[in-house]
Structure 1
Amino acid sequence: MSDTLDDDLYRRTKALLEPGDIQLNGLIVHTDLGSDEDLEMHELTVELNDAIAEHAGKGETYIYAGNDDTNFASNQFHGLTLEDDEFVWECQQLLREGTFDIVFYYEADADQDALVADVEERGYRVTSVLGD
């Protein structure tokens, strides 16, 4: 697993994994994509949706953007199962110092080590964040 690339972002992500209804783990994907690369951000989110769903054993998923929901922020998305709209992951695309970091949260029973290795093998810099 990669070393923590941004301590502040790591701490903020870790805080969001605090115990709630379900135990969560996280993944920060550091990109070189800028604010003018919307299509590439979309393609990356779709690619990572597939990876997370596979390692979480959730089956087929779709990405919900929440455009019709006032509880969603811009650049916030959910991965939900096709079968019954079950939660698979949530992400936020954060523009930091000119490039995007994507922060994903998902149930802790996903194979964290395999997921991180998979995303790294795809050529992305990753920070793993484990919930308690």
Structure 2
Amino acid sequence: MSETVDSDLYARTKALLEPGDIELLGCIVHTTLGGQEDLEMHELTVAINDVIADHAGKGEAYIEAGNDDTSFSSNQFQGLTLDGEEFVWECQQLLRDGTFDLVFYYEADVDQTALAEDLAALDGVDRVTQVP
């Protein structure tokens, strides 16, 4: 991925984390998955859901897809707790330079470094960029 595109994606992700109702952190999961690997990207998103839910300590989470709710775009997803449908994470799936980048936002009470290390260990992940 070019340095310019990577810097632009980082800056946009950081801007979305600006103070709101809850304090958020984020990460960009740069994958090795090409544009034709939609199923693998979905499977990776499910695996990332499990990792983030575990680090957030909120119990099991399910994925609500953007195409299930008109308030989200088609490549936007949320992880919600099974018990109470509380926010765990939100994600946007982007195709950049031929591979998918998955941008995740989550509450700031997680160990960001440990989470990034666990995400980087998943199959299909090239690297993880932490966004404060």
Q: Distance in 1 between matches of 2:101 and 2:64?
A: 19
* Whole-angstrom distance in 2 between the partners of 1:51 and 1:96: 24
Secondary structure (helix, strand or coil) at the match of 2:49 reads helix
Which residue does 1:71 correspond to in 2? Answer: 71
**Which is richer in strand?**
2
User: Are 2:107 and 1:92 equivalent residues in the alignment?
Assistant: no
- Identify unmatched segments of 5+ residues in structure 1: none
Higher relative contact order (CA 8 A, sep 6+): 1
Judge conservation of contact 2:30–2:100 (CA < 8 Å) in 1.
Answer: yes
1:126 to 115, 125, 128: 128
CA–CA separation in structure 2 for the residues paired with 1:68 and 1:104 = 19
TM-score by length of 1: 0.91
Identity %: 72
| 2:51 counterpart residue number | 51
Displaced runs of 4 or more, over 3 A:
none
Q: Which structure shows the higher helix fraction?
A: 2
* Shift of residue 120, structure 1, vs aligned partner: 1.8
Size of the aligned set, in residue pairs, is 126
> Matched residues in 2 for 1:114 and 1:67: separation?
31
- The answer for unaligned runs of 5 or more in structure 2 is none
Cα distance between partner residues in 2 of 1:127 and 1:68: 28
1:17 maps to amino acid = L
The Cα RMSD (Å) is 1.3
Superimposed CA distance per residue, residues 22-52 of structure 1 (whole angstroms, 9 cap, x where no aligned partner): 0000010001212211110110000000000
